[in-house]
Structure 1
Amino acid sequence: MEENQGYVIRQSVLFDNGRGFVLAESQTAPAPFVTWQFTEEQGRRDYYWGHYHTDKGIAEEDYSSRVSDYQRRYGVREVKRPIAEQMREAGTLAKEKALDKVLEPPSPSRGREREER
């Protein structure tokens, strides 16, 4: 996964004018979620105008709002990434979600249900 300033990029959209937005997350930052606008030239991204958040839901809403507002204002279209890149990213996210489930402690009721069977 791509990183910027210690934040892991979780979602990204690139428009046909070479600009876009990302939603990123850091486990160690005081504000663990951020949305940035970026400019992409020759495969390199320059991130700017960050909106920092402590709540994931609010950060996701901000990301969606920034993307739709930019599309409406400038009439740009999303550039779709190659399917191989999308599949690689989906695999990485699936592994992370599976790891999150493993790290969660079992609920007390789960153990009791098993004993009653």
Structure 2
Amino acid sequence: MIEMHEDVRKGVTQSKESEKGANWLFSEILIIAVISGIYFSSWWVFGGVLLGASILMVIKPIRYFLLVVLSLGCGVVGWIIGQWFDSLGASVVIAIIATLASGGAHIYANKWMNDV
């Protein structure tokens, strides 16, 4: 009986983490769509990026590629933030942390998308 309780608890915990990862992923897509729409001053670009990315996430091989690209993109943002401190060390450390953290979130988002 205790083993079943632990399995259920683990399943609930994993489900919560997967939801957080999916929220992170969809937030990234929304931010990219908003920035693209503002940059090009176009609602069409905003809608195209938002809809296009959402559709591409359904296709597994493309989803894996996009998740890796988004993780590396977070690393680039981390590198840029590190540059604000005028330090190569800060850039490297923040970039690595950002890449790994977003990669972990993307792994959970992928699990969520596989479950849906």
- State if a TM-score over 0.5 links the two structures: no
With structure 1 as the length reference, what TM-score do the two structures score? 0.29
| Bigger relative CO (Cα 8 Å, ≥ 6 apart) | 2
Q: Which has more helix, going by share of residues?
A: 2
Q: Which has the larger radius of gyration?
A: 1
With structure 2 as the length reference, what TM-score do the two structures score? 0.29
Q: Which has more strand, going by share of residues?
A: 1
